[in-house]
Amino acid sequence: MKRKVLHSSDCKGAKPTGTSRSPRVGKALVSVVIPVLNESRTVGPVVRFARKSPVVGEVLVIDDGSIDGTAELAEKAGARVITSSLLGKGASMEDGIHEACHDLILFLDGDLRGLESGLIERMVQPLIAGDADLAKARFKRSSGRVTLLTAKPLLRTYFPELADIAQPLGGIIAARTELLRNLRLENDYGVDIGLLIDATQSRARIVEVDIGHVMHDSQSLEALEEMAIQVARTILQRAGEWGRLRIRHVQAANERDRIRRADFRRTLDLLNGASRLALIDMDGTLLNARFVMALADRTGRTERLIPLLDSPNLSATARTRKIAALFAGVHKAVFEEVARGLPLNRGAVEMVVGLRKAGYAVGIVTDSYRIAAEVIRRRVFADFTISHVLTFRNDRSTGGITLCPAMRHPSGCHHHTLCKVNVLHHLRDEVGISPARIIAVGDSSNDVCLLQAAGRSVAFEPKTPEVRQAAKRVVERDLRGILDYLGVPASRQSEIRDHPKSAGRTLDVEDAGA
């Protein structure tokens, strides 16, 4: 149905707007639109809150057929009440858009509570200043289940440019009226996410505005199920319209998520509150093998790898990049299969489980690749990995690599550009974990600086005298000797050996848990 677009002179009860060409806070510039359905307990306070703002010229309540007196209470509070033309939240919002008299529209939900003073002014300020076309509210409330379990995963997959929006389903939105009148609105719970996607695709400038804390009424599981269905349908429909329902978009989303999970800041968040840490090398320590050698053997690249490993003319950084480039084109599955098949050193699983039971957060710190380190982490039940990150496209290695930022530090190791000891400095500076509360375990020259700096350190079957001298203890043959070094009681060790997944067998990723 074609709707009549109203002008200021047509508006009932609206404050005069003045000119819209040079808007200033303090003038009536904003139409507040509140779609409602049976919200008699809260609609009055929401309307009165909106009317207090000096930038609000009118408050429109679009009633979706309420039977509890919502419309009457809204009108009594000072709103102009309009009955939805088609029924449904999207239709109500569209009615509000076409009835609005001002250049800017702010949508509020009718069930809001605890709105902070100045919210409306903060929401529209980026629009008034000419810095944005649409503002989405960000507020201090944990994201809902539909947001976390449906909206965000689908956005990360098909619309990664929106993946960082805190509350993509939130109904508090400010936008230019002209923009909104050119967008299509869904007539169900998909309306807010559809509006956000369409605004993005129309190249609208979008910002988030922190509005403090707000409260919404909770919804039943049945209502949340219906919301999830409608939100998913809207995102997938838009993805199809924009040519994004293709396997390459899913693969690209998986790659973005893999890189996101590798972010050292996520590890720092995980370690907040940790009292003791164990940092353990992978190749030669947890593994009775070297991953890159096994990968080269599997892919027929050994003859090209050996000169890179032995070349004295290459810096550690250049060597790392050249080795990564050597494996360009190798499928991701091959990396994972090789990592699954490598033998663990005796006692590796029991040691990690024992350290965790003794109160340590256990991390694998390796010069190898995260795609392999994550498989090994799951096999031995460690908590986190710190490593370099290979890049993949269409599930095949590009040959590119992102060097681990945690192995660099402005005031860290003076001998190496990339060094594991720099992880120690980051943990000290950013999490407040003293080196005295860290045990390090390694076997080769790449581990020497870390072994020297940690409060406790173990050289496991050290490859050189330098490694042996750097550590405070040497352990041979069985990694469970580290538990003896730390004084884990014999009864606890017996319990660890009886752990159902600690028999030293090779575990599949699916077996290993999180």
Domains of the chain: 8-245 (3.90.550.10), 258-512 (3.40.50.1000)
More reliable by pLDDT, 378 or 254: 378
**Per-residue model confidence as pLDDT tens digits over 427-461:** 888 888 888 999 999 999 999 999 999 999 999 99
Q: What is the mean pLDDT of residues 20-40?
A: 72
**Strand arrangement, sheet containing 456-460:** 396-402, 384-393, 360-369, 276-280, 438-442, 456-460, 473-475
For the chain, the distance separating the N- and C-terminal CA atoms, rounded to the nearest angstrom, is: 53
Q: CA dist 455 to 84, 127, 273, 279, 452, Å?
A: 69, 54, 19, 11, 8
Find the angle CA(331)-CA(344)-CA(302) to the nearest 5 degrees: 45
* Single-letter amino acid, residue 134: L
Share of residues in the chain with pLDDT > 90 (%): 58
More reliable by pLDDT, 30 or 139: 30
445 in Cβ contact with 467 (< 8 Å): yes
Predicted confidence band at 146 (pLDDT cuts at 50, 70, 90)?
Answer: confident
The reported pLDDT for the residue numbered 352 is 95
Q: Is the pLDDT of residue 317 over 50?
A: yes
The reported pLDDT for the residue numbered 495 is 55
Q: Is the pLDDT of residue 278 over 70?
A: yes
Q: Is the pLDDT of residue 225 over 90?
A: no
The reported pLDDT for the residue numbered 354 is 93
Q: Is the pLDDT of residue 5 over 70?
A: no
* Single-letter amino acid, residue 358: A
Q: Is the pLDDT of residue 227 over 50?
A: yes
Distance in angstroms (rounded) separating the CA atoms of residues 462 and 474: 8
More reliable by pLDDT, 218 or 396: 396
The reported pLDDT for the residue numbered 143 is 56
Predicted confidence band at 249 (pLDDT cuts at 50, 70, 90)?
Answer: confident
460 in Cβ contact with 441 (< 8 Å): yes
The reported pLDDT for the residue numbered 75 is 95
Predicted confidence band at 470 (pLDDT cuts at 50, 70, 90)?
Answer: very high
The reported pLDDT for the residue numbered 58 is 95
**Per-residue model confidence as pLDDT tens digits over 341-369:** 999 999 999 999 999 999 999 999 999 99
Question: Residue 65: left if φ>0, alpha if ψ -120 to 50, beta else—which one?
Answer: left
The reported pLDDT for the residue numbered 431 is 84
Q: What is the mean pLDDT of residues 51-64?
A: 94
E strands of 131-201, at which residues?
A: 134-138, 173-176
Element of type H or E holding 483: helix 481-486
Chain mean pLDDT for the chain: 85
**Per-residue model confidence as pLDDT tens digits over 161-173:** 898 898 898 889 9
The reported pLDDT for the residue numbered 490 is 53
Residue 57 per-residue DSSP state: E
Q: How, if at all, do strands 384-393 and 396-402 pair?
A: antiparallel
